[in-house]
Structure 1
Amino acid sequence: MLLVHGLWTRARTLALWVEVPRRRPGGARAGDLAQLAAAAPAAPHLAGALTRPRGPLGVLLPCTAAGRPAASGARPREDWRLLPVDLEVVQLHGRQAVDVLAEVAGPAAAVAGDGLRWLAHVAAGARTAVDAGHVVPDLAVHDGELLAGWVPLPDRRVQRWRTALAEVCPPVLRAQAGAAPPTAAALVDDVCAVVTDVLAAQRTAHVAAGPLPAAPAVRQWLLALRTGEPVRAPGSAQALVRRVREWQRSGQDSGCDVLLRVVEPGAWQQDGAEETWRLQLRLRPLDEPSLVLDLAQARAEGGRSAGDEDPLLLLLSGAARAGAAHPPLRRLLTGPGADAASAAGVELGVEELLDLVERGGPRLAAAGIALQLPRRWTRKAVSLSLEASAAQPGAVTDPQLRKDDLVDFRWQAALGGTPLSEAELLDLAAAKSSLVRFRGEWVQVDLEDLRRSARFLRTRGSGSAPVRDVLALVGAGRDLPAPVTSVDARGVLGDVLSGRAAERLPELADPPGLRAVLRPYQRRGLTWLATMSRLGLGAVLADDMGLGKTLQLLALLVHEHAQDEQARDGDARDGDARVPGGGPTLLVCPMSVVGNWQAEAARFAPGLRVHVQHGPARPRGADLAAVAAGHDLVVTTYGLLVRDAADLARVPWRRVALDEAQHVKNAATRAARAVRALPAQHRVALTGTPVENRLEDLRAVLDATNPGLLGSAAHFRDTFAVPIEKLGQQGPARRLAVVTRPFVLRRVKTDPAVAGDLPEKIEMTVRANLTPEQAGLYRAVVDELVRRLADPEVEGVSRKGLVLAALTRLKQVCNHPAHYLGDASGVLHRGRHRSGKLELLDDIVTSARAEGEKVLCFTQFAEFGHMLAPHLAERTGEPVPFLHGGVPRRQRDAMVAEFSEADGHGVLLLSLRAGGTGLNLTAANHVVHVDRWWNPAVEDQATDRAYRIGQQRRVQVRKLVSAGTVEERVDALVQRKRDLAGAVVGSGEGWITELDGDALRELLSLGADAVGD
Structure 2
Amino acid sequence: MLVVHGLWTREQRLALWVEAPRRRPGPARPADLAALPRTWDALISALASPVTGTLPVSLPCTPSGRPAASTGRPRTDLRLLPVDLDVVELTGERAVTLLLELSAPAGDGVRLSDGLAWLVHVAAGARRAVDAGHVVPDLAPAGDRGFTARWVPAPDRAVGRWRTAVAQACPPVLRAERSHRGPAHGPPQALDLLDDLCGVVVDVLVAARTAHVVPHDLPDGASARAWIGALRTGEPLRGEGWAALSRRVREWQRSGEDAGYDVLLRVVEPEPWEDVPAHLADGHLDGDDSPEAPDQSWRLQVRLRPLDDPSLVLTLEEARTETRAGGSAAGEDPLLVLLTGAARAGAAHPPLKRLLSGRADAAAQDGVDLTIEELLDLVEQGGPRLTAAGVALQLPRHWTKKALTFSLSASASQPGAITDPQVRKDDLLDFRWQAALGDSPVTEAELLALAASKSSLVRFRGEWVQVDPEALARSARFLRTRGNGKASLLDVLATVGTGKDLPGPVTSVDARGVLGDVLSGQAAERLPELPDPPGLHAVLRPYQRRGLTWLATMSRLGLGAVLADDMGLGKTLQLLALLAHERGDEPGPTLLVCPMSVVGNWAAEAAKFAPDLRVHVHHGTGRPRGAEFTALVAQRDLVVTTYGLLVRDVADLAAADWHRVALDEAQYVKNAATRQARAVRAVGSRHRVALTGTPVENRLEDLRAVLDATNPGLLGSAATFRDRFAVPIEKLGHAEPAERLALVTRPFVLRRVKTDPAVAGDLPEKIEMTVRANLTPEQAALYRRAVDDLTERLQDKDSDPGGLSRRGLILAALTRLKQICNHPAHYLGDSSGVLHRGRHRSGKLQLLDDIVTSARSEGEKVLCFTQFAEFGHLLGPHLAGLTGEPVPFLHGGVSRRGRDAMVAEFAEADGPGVMLLSLKAGGTGLNLVAANHVVHVDRWWNPAVEDQATDRAFRIGQRRQVQVRKLVSVGTVEERVDAVISRKRDLADRVVGSGEGWITDLDTDALRELLRLGDDAVGE
Among 323, 337, 346, which residue is 1:302 paired with?
Answer: 323
Superposition pairs for residues 287-686 of structure 1, below 5 Å?
287-302=308-323, 304=327, 308-334=331-357, 336=358, 339-392=361-414, 394-421=416-443, 423-507=445-529, 519-544=541-566, 546-548=567-569, 551-552=570-571, 554-555=572-573, 557-559=575-577, 561-562=579-580, 565-568=583-586, 580-587=587-594, 594=595, 596-598=597-599, 600-605=601-606, 609-610=616-617, 632-636=639-643, 654-655=660-661, 657=663, 659=665, 661=667, 664=670
The structure-2 alpha-carbon separation of the partners of 1:724 and 1:288, relative to structure 1 and needing over 3 Å to count, comes to: farther
The structure-2 alpha-carbon separation of the partners of 1:177 and 1:276, relative to structure 1 and needing over 3 Å to count, comes to: same
Distance 1:755 1:31 in 2: 69
| Per-residue Cα deviation, 1:947-974 (whole angstroms, up to 9, x for no partner) | 9995579xxxxxxxxxxxxxxxxxxxxx
The structure-2 alpha-carbon separation of the partners of 1:5 and 1:517, relative to structure 1 and needing over 3 Å to count, comes to: farther
Among 100, 108, 117, which residue is 1:102 paired with?
Answer: 100
Among 45, 49, 59, which residue is 2:42 paired with?
Answer: 45
Superposition pairs for residues 884-895 of structure 1, below 5 Å?
none
AA in 1 matched with 2:341: G
Contact 1:216 1:233 in 2 (8 A): no
| Per-residue Cα deviation, 1:858-883 (whole angstroms, up to 9, x for no partner) | xxxxxxxxxxxxxxxx99998999xx
1:365 Cα deviation after fit: 2.1
Q: Secondary structure at the match of 1:261?
A: strand
State yes or no: 1:900 paired with 2:909.
yes
Distance 2:391 2:648 in 1: 60
The structure-2 alpha-carbon separation of the partners of 1:673 and 1:17, relative to structure 1 and needing over 3 Å to count, comes to: farther
1:201 Cα deviation after fit: 1.0
Contact 2:215 2:229 in 1 (8 A): no
Superposition pairs for residues 746-895 of structure 1, below 5 Å?
746-756=751-761
Aligned to 2:863: none
State yes or no: 1:260 paired with 2:282.
no
AA in 1 matched with 2:207: A
1:708 Cα deviation after fit: 4.4
Aligned to 1:282: 303
AA in 2 matched with 1:428: L
Contact 2:215 2:228 in 1 (8 A): no
The structure-2 alpha-carbon separation of the partners of 1:880 and 1:349, relative to structure 1 and needing over 3 Å to count, comes to: closer
Aligned to 1:8: 8
Contact 1:6 1:14 in 2 (8 A): yes
Among 203, 209, 229, which residue is 2:209 paired with?
Answer: 203
Aligned to 2:91: 93
The structure-2 alpha-carbon separation of the partners of 1:474 and 1:948, relative to structure 1 and needing over 3 Å to count, comes to: closer
Distance 1:318 1:690 in 2: 53
| Per-residue Cα deviation, 1:819-850 (whole angstroms, up to 9, x for no partner) | xxxxxxxxxxxxxxxxxxxxxxxxxxxxxxxx
Contact 2:213 2:346 in 1 (8 A): no
Contact 1:514 1:555 in 2 (8 A): no
The structure-2 alpha-carbon separation of the partners of 1:719 and 1:299, relative to structure 1 and needing over 3 Å to count, comes to: farther
Aligned to 2:787: none
Q: Secondary structure at the match of 1:251?
A: helix
Contact 1:104 1:116 in 2 (8 A): no
Distance 1:646 1:320 in 2: 76
User: Any stretches of 5+ residues in structure 1 without a counterpart?
Assistant: 569-579, 588-593, 761-873, 882-894, 907-920, 926-945, 954-1013
1:197 Cα deviation after fit: 0.6
Aligned to 2:235: 229
1:257 Cα deviation after fit: 1.7
Distance 1:624 1:171 in 2: 84
The structure-2 alpha-carbon separation of the partners of 1:479 and 1:624, relative to structure 1 and needing over 3 Å to count, comes to: farther
The structure-2 alpha-carbon separation of the partners of 1:48 and 1:388, relative to structure 1 and needing over 3 Å to count, comes to: same
AA in 2 matched with 1:632: V
1:266 Cα deviation after fit: 0.8
| Per-residue Cα deviation, 1:554-586 (whole angstroms, up to 9, x for no partner) | 335534554675444xxxxxxxxxxx5445244
The structure-2 alpha-carbon separation of the partners of 1:467 and 1:8, relative to structure 1 and needing over 3 Å to count, comes to: same
1:415 Cα deviation after fit: 1.8
The structure-2 alpha-carbon separation of the partners of 1:623 and 1:469, relative to structure 1 and needing over 3 Å to count, comes to: same
AA in 1 matched with 2:38: P
AA in 2 matched with 1:321: R
Distance 2:907 2:443 in 1: 61
Aligned to 1:192: 198
The structure-2 alpha-carbon separation of the partners of 1:67 and 1:298, relative to structure 1 and needing over 3 Å to count, comes to: same
Distance 2:497 2:902 in 1: 41
Contact 1:213 1:219 in 2 (8 A): no
Distance 1:85 1:878 in 2: 49
Distance 1:44 1:396 in 2: 70
The structure-2 alpha-carbon separation of the partners of 1:486 and 1:879, relative to structure 1 and needing over 3 Å to count, comes to: closer
AA in 1 matched with 2:205: L
Distance 2:392 2:195 in 1: 27
Distance 2:689 2:535 in 1: 22
1:519 Cα deviation after fit: 4.8
Contact 1:134 1:321 in 2 (8 A): no
Greater shift in the superposed pair: 257-266 or 420-429: 420-429
Distance 2:578 2:490 in 1: 21
1:501 Cα deviation after fit: 1.8
Contact 1:540 1:743 in 2 (8 A): yes
The structure-2 alpha-carbon separation of the partners of 1:318 and 1:220, relative to structure 1 and needing over 3 Å to count, comes to: closer
Contact 1:642 1:671 in 2 (8 A): yes
Distance 2:71 2:652 in 1: 60
Aligned to 2:890: none
Q: Secondary structure at the match of 1:330?
A: helix
The structure-2 alpha-carbon separation of the partners of 1:12 and 1:520, relative to structure 1 and needing over 3 Å to count, comes to: farther
1:660 Cα deviation after fit: 6.8
Distance 1:621 1:83 in 2: 95
| TM-score, normalised by the number of residues in structure 1 | 0.64
AA in 1 matched with 2:573: A
Contact 1:625 1:651 in 2 (8 A): yes
State yes or no: 1:121 paired with 2:144.
no
Distance 1:57 1:668 in 2: 66
Report the structure number with the largest CA radius of gyration. Answer: 1
Distance 1:458 1:405 in 2: 25
| Per-residue Cα deviation, 1:710-752 (whole angstroms, up to 9, x for no partner) | 4567876776677767887666654444333223334344345
Greater shift in the superposed pair: 290-299 or 669-678: 669-678
Q: Secondary structure at the match of 2:311?
A: coil
Aligned length: 757
The structure-2 alpha-carbon separation of the partners of 1:194 and 1:382, relative to structure 1 and needing over 3 Å to count, comes to: same
1:437 Cα deviation after fit: 1.7
| Per-residue Cα deviation, 1:278-331 (whole angstroms, up to 9, x for no partner) | 121222222222222233333333364765343333223222222232222221
Aligned to 1:150: 151
The structure-2 alpha-carbon separation of the partners of 1:948 and 1:547, relative to structure 1 and needing over 3 Å to count, comes to: closer
Distance 2:206 2:736 in 1: 37
Superposition pairs for residues 215-254 of structure 1, below 5 Å?
217-235=223-241, 238-254=243-259
| TM-score, normalised by the number of residues in structure 2 | 0.63
Contact 2:493 2:744 in 1 (8 A): no
Distance 1:298 1:169 in 2: 44
Contact 1:538 1:682 in 2 (8 A): yes
Contact 1:519 1:757 in 2 (8 A): no
Distance 1:314 1:242 in 2: 15
Q: Secondary structure at the match of 1:91?
A: strand
AA in 1 matched with 2:45: G
